[in-house]
Amino acid sequence: MRGSDAATPAMDGTRRGLPSGIAGVWTTALATLAVLAMLAALLWIVAVNAFGWFWPARVTELNLADGSTRIGIVVAREERPVENGEERAVKHRIQLKTGNRELTGADFSWVDESEIASRSTPGDLVRVVRTEYGDAFGRITAAVAADGHSLDATSEAEIGEFLEQGDQWRRERKRLEKEREHLRRPLSELEERLDMAERSARAETPDGLARRAELEAAVERTANQLSQQLDALQVEIDDLGRLTREARLVLSSGAEAIEMPLGNVLEVRWPNRPGFARRAAQAVREGVLFLFTEPREANTEGGIFPALFGTVLLVLLMSVAVVPLGVVTAVYMTEYARPGILLRLANQAVNNLAGVPSIVFGMFGLAFFVYEVGGAVDTAFFADRLPTPTFGTGGLLWASLTLAIMTVPVVVVATREGLMAVPQSWRDGSLALGATRWQTLKRIILPASMPGILTGLILAVSRAAGEVAPLMLTGAVKLAPSLPVDGVPPFLHLQRKFMHLGFHIYDVSMQSPNVEAAKPMAFATTLVLLALVVLLNLTAIIVRRRLRRAYRGQVV
Amino acid sequence: METPQERIDSNSNGSGTGTTVSVVPSNSRAEEYATSDNALETRGLHLWYGEAHALKGVDLGMPARRITALIGPSGCGKSTYLRCFNRMNDMIEGVRVEGRVTVEGIDIFSPDIDLESLRKRVGMVFQKSNPFPMSIRENVSYGPRMTGVHGRGRLDDLVEKSLRQADLWEEVRDRLDNSALDLSGGQQQRLCIARALANEPDILLLDEPASALDPISTAKIEETLLQLKQNYTIVIVTHNLQQAARIADLTAFLMLGELVEVDDTTTMFTNPKQNITEEYITGRFG
């Protein structure tokens, strides 16, 4: 029965029970249209909000009736009903992103349109991207170099050079700090061991005391050995710190002035200066920075790189785990298991597994992988670090395995369909030529069912990439101190917590200390997640199409 | 069915040796008949698909280096019978076999038989051509590669030899690395013959190999089979009685899982012993 001649569905039964005639056509067509419209709206909203954020917005200067000035980006305009005695009028007010949080404590303010005397977008207004207090808006009134001489505040080139200098100092400082960390590593390791010895159950025994004394001596010795080099490094670092504090930028916004050390200034933009190409380049730069820098200020500023990286790595690990598991299961169920009640039960179980809510898998991952397996791994291999868990807490490995368990049903189902679509005549042909069943499986059946396997992988990746609930229980965090991949052996740290785009969206839009400011970021992150899923799928679809071409459509 | 044992001389093709054919009616006792001449032989072969009794005690021997045709109406068990010789029925769920099947004197249902070597020795070509989704070269060399032949040179020699034997070499020699699925239907079937020959078998089983082909392709295949007869024992299941008459040395008529009659082809088609055979051959049923 399996194979090429799958029965075509009965034509008579398919249309029974549906409304007939024009009314039926219109109803169904409208329903289809509604679905398409909603899909389009979804994409539109995400894309408009995200791209609108990247595109450099003009900075507006508002002169108010009372003589004061507000500078910022207009982000919204809304109606405000006003009751004035008998009369009812509609007034408008606009929302301004004014930044300069250290002055007002807020990023946004509302202004009634009736109070505005004039508005303008002069070319010398700037937006300053900073490492703290969010953006600043205003005019540069002074730029002072570290040696005390002043720069031309209106020259973009000169300010650019100035910032370049600051950037260089920052990079140099980061390098030095890394060097310091590297230099200190033997000492840190000793300290860690000492710490463990002090916390161990045997700390107070004579044995333990001797060990502690020994380690304390070692720590002191090493510290002495390293102190000269460490002090020299520290001096260099402090010097750089002083430079980045002494060089500074002064901004005026209305009556107020803000002084910021160069070390805090990341970028200065002149969004009101004309030029489409310039703005486009700016937007692209903004997008690239968003993708490839780390978040700042509790995820309300900066980029999403760790989340993007975490998501891709998570999906890759999940795929590595789910494909073998799913394929082996499907092969057994299709090729070896005897048909009967047990196989039907297994089939049903697999199908039902696909419908289990993902949070249930999260609980399973937490209970089984994190507590049970992770706990056992810790006891067996990392006993000296206990009670601090290593694998016994949420981490990349457990999260990807949880997702693999969650998505294994779709891989099994798709692979089974792929296997069943392999013509029986190929199996017969191979066996009749003296090939064993294993050879037939390896050389004929599995290659021919690759499209099916890939379909399963595509579905699994689509589901896993956007899944958040199980990850919250198994290792996704708001802010991971380090990426799961780095230069320290063993390079891939599967026990580490990680950031994830889906969780990041939730965090930015719901848990952020500055929800209003972070809102566009949530949309941009959503767009990235969407693009990532599409990209992953597209890759698999292209591979699948190539494979299908090789089989000339003989296999579904 | 009281037909006595018969000895039929079929010296007509003049090949000289081994021309004596044992024709064994279904009710005779096995030990009475010499089996050494027969490449393939069944004794009291019963086969059940679950409850369905598909073969009901077939006793038949097929001589070496001859073409034996199996004819009979649809569902009479010809294909099932054929698939007993390389034990392809084993894979079907619920199949039960009783009786003795020998290939070159060896009982192939004995427990120490190696299924892969048996199938290497007994090649099979199916009704619907089934080239694998690989290149022509890989298709032909598949059997040898799976059964332990290595080395590019050795495999290439086998590929060329087999394709020449199947009369396909001239047509595909320049595109051995193209996909086999691009060949025409007739070419695909000859490729399948070449693929079976690449294992250097002694016996070739063909299950209606030309039923889906046009007359020209059919003629080519028949021509190929007549050539192969010099070195191979060939058994062919066919619905096409003219085909049986054209190429077979011996023809066996099966019906409802029983062997009705077997005789040399000329006799069978001119002077059948059983009425029912005559009715079938003359097209009154089937």
Q: CA of B242 to nearest chain A CA: how many angstroms apart?
A: 27
Least confident segment among A62-76, A480-494, B88-102, B153-167: A480-494
Q: With 0-12 CB in 10 A as exposed, 13-18 as middle and 19+ as buried, what is A394?
A: buried
Chain B closest-CA separation from residue A332 CA (Å): 16
Per the model's pLDDT, the better-predicted residue between A205 and A431 turns out to be A431
Q: How far is CA A443 from CA B105, B131, B180, in A?
A: 33, 13, 16
> In this structure, are residues B176 and B160 in contact, taking their beta carbons and an 8 Å threshold?
no
What is the ipTM score, two decimals?
0.83
ω into A490 cis (within 30 of 0)? yes
Q: Chain A interface, mutation test: which of B88, B130, B155, most A Cβ atoms within 10 Å?
A: B130
Minimum distance, in Å, between the CA of residue A422 and any CA atom of chain B? 11
- Cβ <8 Å between B91 and A431: yes
Query: Which pLDDT belongs to residue A16?
Result: 57
What pLDDT is attached to residue A412?
94
The per-residue pLDDT for A6 is 42
- CB of B73 within 8 A of CB of B255? yes
pLDDT value of residue A17: 58
pLDDT tens for B96-133 read: 999 999 998 888 888 888 888 999 999 999 988 899 99
What's residue A363's pLDDT? 95
**What's domain A305-549's superfamily in CATH?**
MetI-like (1.10.3720.10)
Q: What percent of chain A has pLDDT over 90?
A: 25
pLDDT at B5: 37
Mean pLDDT of chain A: 85
Average pLDDT rounded to a whole number, residues A515-535:
88
Contact B146 A435 (CB under 8 A): yes
Contact indicator for A364, A358 with CB cutoff of 8 Å: no
Question: A8-22, A488-502, A525-539: lowest mean pLDDT where?
Answer: A8-22
| CA of B75 vs chain A CAs: smallest distance (Å) | 18
How is residue B10 annotated by DSSP? -
pLDDT score of B9: 36
* CB spacing of A432 vs B117 below 8 angstroms: no
Dist. CA A533–CA A505, nearest whole Å: 15
What domains does chain B contain, in order, with CATH numbers?
Answer: 6-281 (3.40.50.300)
- Taking only the tens place, the pLDDT of each residue in B13-68 is 333 333 334 444 443 333 333 345 788 989 999 999 988 999 998 899 998 889 99
pLDDT number for residue B236: 94
A101-118 pLDDT tens trace = 888 888 888 888 888 888
User: Quick check: B12 pLDDT over 60?
Assistant: no
pLDDT band for position A376 (cuts 50, 70, 90): confident
d(C-alpha B138, C-alpha A72), whole Å: 71
Query: Do the Cβ atoms of A196 and A188 come closer than 8 Å?
Result: no
CB contact under 8 A, A428 and B119: no
* Top-confidence range, A3-7, A336-340, A400-404, A543-547: A400-404
Q: What are phi and psi of B161, to 5 degrees?
A: -60, -45
* Euclidean distance between the first and the last CA atom of chain B, given in angstroms as a whole number: 21
Give the DSSP H or E segment for B49.
strand B38-49
Name residue, tokens 């958040």: A468
Average pLDDT over residues A133-153: 83
Q: What is the pLDDT of residues A459-502, one digit of tens each?
A: 898 888 888 999 999 988 888 878 888 777 778 888 888 999 99
Residue A389: cis peptide before it, omega within 30 degrees of 0: no
Q: In whole angstroms, how far apart are CA B222 and each of B27, B160, B215, B232?
A: 33, 20, 10, 14
Q: What pLDDT sits at residue A359?
A: 93
Spatial distance between the Cα atoms of A20 and A26, rounded to a whole number of angstroms: 10
Query: In B, residues 127-166, which contact A (CB 8 Å cutoff)?
Result: 128, 130, 132-133, 142-143, 146-147
Average pLDDT over residues A271-278: 85
Q: Tell me the shortest Cα–Cα distance from A433 to chain B, in angstroms.
A: 5
Mean pLDDT, rounded, for B208-224: 87
Q: Residue B96 has what DSSP assignment?
A: E
For the cut 60, the answer to whether the pLDDT of residue A34 exceeds it is yes
Alpha carbons within 13 A on the beta-carbon side of A33: 6
Residue pLDDT, tens place only, B175-215: 999 989 889 888 999 999 999 999 989 999 999 888 888 88
Task: Report the C-alpha gap between A549 and B135 in whole angstroms.
Answer: 14
Note whether B117 contacts A444, CB cutoff 8 Å: no
Residue range A266-270: average pLDDT? 86
What's the rounded Cα separation, in Å, for the pair A419 and A411? 12
Chain A residues with CB-CB distance to B207 below 8 A? none
User: How far is the C-alpha of A106 from the C-alpha of A98, rounded, in Å?
Assistant: 8
Q: In one letter, which amino acid is B212? A: A
pLDDT, mean of residues A385-393: 75
Closest CA to A428 of A3, A102, A142, A91: A3
Chain A residues closer than 8 Å to B192 by CB = 429
DSSP 8-state class, residue A505:
H
Percent of chain B with pLDDT strictly greater than 90: 36
Judge whether A532 and B161 are in contact, CB under 8 Å. no
Instruction: For chain A, give every domain's residue range.
Output: 50-145+249-275, 148-246, 305-549
**Cβ distance B133 to A554 under 8 Å?**
yes
CB nearest to B133's CB, from A431, A435, A554: A554
Q: Taking the model in full, what pTM does it have?
A: 0.78
Sign of the C-alpha dihedral computed for residues B173, B174, B179 and B182 taken in this order: negative
